Structure 1
Amino acid sequence: MSSHHFVKEQQEPAVIILNTEGLNFDGISPLLEWVPTVLVWQECLDTVLSWGIKIDVILATETFQKENLQLLEEQYPVKFLTASPENTLDEGLQYLLATKHPAAHLVGVSHLRCMDLEGKLHLFDLTIMDAGWKYYPVKSGKFKKWFAESTIQILGREGMPVEISNENGKLMLPLIYLTQLEVLEGITEILGTGIFWVGEKVNSES
């Protein structure tokens, strides 16, 4: 593939696709712009292949691998990585750690997994794409961003106090597991006492 830009190997966030329900190619294509490493769970394989995406690793059970050996030729140089439905995400992240990928988009991973991933945030920059929303962690506990008028979500430890400020003033509240917030156009700042995640609707972006 000829390429006129110089992207260091592994610099692009990898993409792990574990569920394609409610997802179309347009929703994921921005993540593929610089040809990242793509890992796909076996149940999503047909859908992802139909999008014409180059897949690097198929996360699959041993049974699936035995029954689909032809994929290694058809999709060369794809590899199989053994995983079970319970540990696909862990296996995928373990692979990215071993291959020195510092960042990943987790597609079709439930936002309910946010808290489980906190132990991995010192190893990776992670973004979760779930049902039309994009969630990213605020590791420092301090967040500041310009938003168009929209709805955002804040996820964090139940009861963690956060302070939200924008043109309307300041608001202090304890997080319930998922706090939905209407924000005005302009800068919104959020301060928390620990890690929290911010969710934005993806399909409302142009």
Structure 2
Amino acid sequence: MSSHHIVRDKQEPALLIANGESCDPELLGQLLEWNPFVVVLDNAIWRVLDLEIKVDALLGDFDYQPDFELIRERQYPIEIIHTPDQNKTDLDKGIEFLIERGFPAVNIVWATGRRADHTITNMTNIIRYKDRIKLVMVDDHSKITPLTGSFEKWYAKGTPISLIPVGTVGGIVTEGLTYNLADETLTLGYRTGSSNEAAQDGFVKIQYRTGDLLLMECWD
């Protein structure tokens, strides 16, 4: 698998590769199809290099002291950015790096699976950036998007859709779901909107007044 290094104008979403569970090569290939700007986080670089993916930037705190000379031998040119701030996760740093570089959108892979603490932190931390960059986190079974304001999208009947609050979300109103919400509240750990679905072929509409809400499109 490879991605050719070409000049890009940032119209396509960047691709941010974290260090969780690898996704299906076909999914990764689809995300690489339009030659995105590729950022790899820390120790994931070795797995990515083995896939022969063209990497534009490597970012991390590098506390494991990687062999940068070997990395550059296998991947050149590559920008290596040291981000030692221990108050932020590598994923936070990667997203902020792309915001600073002016990217309007990013697809995130390998951010779930393996360690549960990393998975839940990665899924919920993307909320803080929802107004600064369009984020989509994907793996082999899920597509996770933080919602901003009103949401409307066409779905086929029976498409699984979950609404997961980060904290408490109030004033949720939905249309087009099998189990619609009418000015209701969801609270993580107490009541969530998991395992709902599109009631029929057509548009699903979601809006809410307060809080932070994740939309998850999931499949087995």
What is the deviation of 1:168? 5.5
C-alpha contact (below 8 Å) 2:19/2:43 kept by paired residues: yes
C-alpha distance in structure 2 between counterparts of 1:80 and 1:146, whole Å: 41
Provide the residue aligned with 1:46 in structure 2.
46
AA matched with 1:182: E
Residue 60 of structure 2 corresponds to: 60
Specify every segment of 5 or more residues in structure 2 that has no aligned partner in the other structure, as ranges.
112-118
Which deviates the most, 156-165 or 29-38? 156-165
Q: State the Cα distance separating 1:115 from its structure 2 match.
A: 4.4
| TM-score of the aligned structures, taking structure 1 as reference length | 0.80
Counterpart pick for 1:121 among 107, 124, 130: 130
- Offset from partner CA, 1:18-43 (integer Å, 9 cap, x none): 13415121122221111111111233
Partner residue of 1:192 out of 195, 198, 208: 208
Tell me how large the CA RMSD over aligned residues is: 2.9
Shift of 1:133: 0.6
1:200 CA displacement: 0.8
CA distance in 2 between counterparts of 1:2 and 1:112 reads: 32
AA matched with 1:176: T
1:107 to partner: Cα distance: 1.7
Question: Once the 2 structures are TM-superposed, how far is the Cα of residue 95 of structure 1 from its aligned partner?
Answer: 1.8
Aligned to 1:140: 149
Q: Distance in 2 between matches of 1:45 and 1:169?
A: 43
Alpha-carbon distance in 2 for matches of 1:16, 1:58: 10
Q: Structure 1 residue 66: deviation in Å?
A: 5.2
More deviation, 72-81/146-155: 146-155
Check the 8 A contact 1:111/1:130 in 2, yes or no: no
Task: Out of 12-21 and 142-151, give the one that drifted further.
Answer: 142-151
Q: Amino acid of the residue matched to residue 149 of structure 1?
A: G
Task: Work out the CA distance in 2 between the residues paired with 1:111 and 1:185.
Answer: 31
Structure 2: how far apart are the matches of 1:81 and 1:57? Answer: 7
Contact 1:126 1:136 in 2 (8 A): yes
Would the aligned equivalents of 2:22 and 2:110 in 1 still touch at CA under 8 Å?
no
Tell me the secondary structure at the aligned position of residue 160 of structure 1: strand
Equivalent position amino acid for 1:189 in 2: K
Residue 174 of structure 2 aligns to which amino acid in structure 1? I
> How many residues are aligned here?
200
CA contact (8 A) 2:149 2:207 kept: no
Question: 8 Å contact 1:21–1:108 — kept in the other structure?
Answer: yes
Find the counterpart in structure 1 of residue 114 from structure 2. Answer: none
- Contact 1:153–1:198 (CA<8 Å) still a contact in 2? yes
Identity percentage of aligned residues: 22
Q: Distance in 1 between matches of 2:136 and 2:82?
A: 23
